Amino acid sequence: MIKIGKYQHFKGNYYEVLYLAKHSETEELLVVYRCEKDGSIWVRPFEMFFQKVMHNGELKDRFKYIS
């Protein structure tokens, strides 16, 4: 469903996807990922993680799989 590994955010930073989780109340799928720069842990809804965003007049993937 999701490739575990390294992703690049559209603004340039790199993140490691650790695993998928489920929200305890809604069962919404969440992506759990770690910032390579400072080690902070983040959670984002699955659909939002893979959506396209407008940046500098270009439509880009929010996160792009690297390896």
Domains of the chain, first to last: 5-65 (2.30.30.320)
Q: Is 29 helix (H, G, I), strand (E, B) or coil?
A: strand
The residue whose two tokens read 């989780």 is 21
Residue 52 pLDDT: 98
Question: What average pLDDT does the segment 8-32 reach?
Answer: 97
pLDDT digits (tens, 9 = 90+) for 39-67: 999 999 999 999 999 999 999 999 999 99
**What residues contact 26, with CB distance under 8 A and at least 6 apart?**
none
Stronger pLDDT, 34 or 2, i.e. the higher one? 34
Task: Give the burial class of 63: count Cβ atoms within 10 A of its Cβ; 0-12 exposed, 13-18 middle, 19 or more buried.
Answer: buried
Residue 1 pLDDT: 77
